[in-house]
């Protein structure tokens, strides 16, 4: 029988709550927190190291099939009183299941990156829902990975984790400080680089054939790609649109571009 936690001031609970609220604390600890029975089970099934499992008595009854997949992989487990679980919850109606997990190693920089398949690069993407959707789509379409450039939101934030539907646990991703600075190295590795822009004079992505390993870069929701990045990529591409809208949501644009990358 796991230890029961009834106080919101418990050190493990306070540690978990800080992981949920602070990207800086997640970076310093090398840990992140997951909420939800299915997502916790998905992390365990995907080989993510589970440090701590928290769950309520009601969750133990309602989500037993999911917890059976997590409990054997958790280094420690605690039973939470309902009012304590509410402190950790990011969702309006919590399932009462939470995991503290270790971040995946080797996701910073380009060392060891091989020119296999196609990648999407996102620059300064700030909306967690958009980033999560991009990661989910990238995994679904079979991309080799995603590059996170500049000031993107934290890939391990609770909202990104939920929107990605577990893609964060499996899809290869790397982060670089500036995509413009990384472009020469990426080209030397063997990638063709393309910058996605809302410009009707740019090359239509539907007219391209991505025969060699390629990377398409998508920019910030409001400002698009940095001018230096567009210049560093060399080839500007656009999504042909017949309506009046000048641009698309970042996640929608990325989905179309990734489909075109993988179409052949």
> pTM value?
0.92
Residue 108 lies in a domain: no
pLDDT tens digits for 34-56?
Answer: 999 999 999 999 999 999 999 99
pLDDT at 248 over 90: no
* Domain match, 164 and 39 both: no
CATH of residue 54: 3.30.1330.30
pLDDT tens digits, residue range 89-108? 988 889 999 999 999 987 88
> Are residues 91 and 164 located together in one domain of the fold?
no
How high does pLDDT run on average in the chain?
93
C-alpha distances in Å from residue 157, one per residue of 4, 16, 106, 161, 196: 27, 13, 18, 6, 26
Same domain as 53, residue 20 = yes
pLDDT at residue 247 is higher than 70? no
Q: Which residue has the tokens 């995994």?
A: 139
**E runs forming strands in 145-249:** 145-149, 173-176, 192-196, 203-204, 214-218, 235-238
- The pLDDT value given to residue 223: 86
The residue range of the domain holding 65 is: 3-102
DSSP state of 124: S
């Amino acid at each position: 029988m796991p230890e029961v936690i009834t106080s919101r001031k418990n050190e493990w609970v306070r540690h978990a709550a800080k992981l949920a609220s602070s990207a800086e604390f997640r970076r310093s600890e090398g840990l992140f927190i997951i909420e939800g029975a299915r997502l916790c089970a998905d992390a365990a099934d995907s080989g993510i190291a589970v440090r701590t499992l928290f769950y309520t008595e009601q969750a133990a009854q309602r989500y037993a099939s999911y917890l059976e997949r997590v409990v054997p992989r958790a280094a420690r487990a605690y039973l939470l009183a309902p009012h304590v679980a509410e402190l950790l919850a990011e969702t309006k109606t919590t399932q009462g299941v939470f995991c503290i997990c270790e971040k995946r190693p080797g996701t910073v920089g380009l060392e060891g990156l091989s020119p296999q398949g196609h990648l999407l690069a996102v620059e300064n993407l700030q909306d967690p829902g958009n980033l999560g959707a991009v990661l989910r789509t990238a995994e679904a379409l079979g991309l080799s990975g995603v590059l996170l450039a500049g000031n993107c939101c934290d890939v391990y934030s609770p909202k990104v984790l939920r929107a990605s539907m577990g893609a964060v646990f499996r899809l290869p991703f790397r982060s670089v400080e500036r995509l413009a600075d990384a472009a020469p190295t990426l080209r030397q590795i063997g990638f063709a680089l393309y910058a996605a822009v809302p410009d009707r004079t740019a090359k239509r992505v539907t007219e391209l054939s991505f025969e060699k390993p390629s990377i398409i870069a998508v920019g910030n929701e409001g400002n698009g790609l940095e001018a230096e990045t567009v210049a560093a990529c060399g080839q500007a591409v656009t999504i042909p649109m017949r309506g009046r809208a000048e641009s698309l949501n970042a996640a929608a644009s990325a989905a179309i571009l990734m489909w075109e990358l993988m179409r052949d």
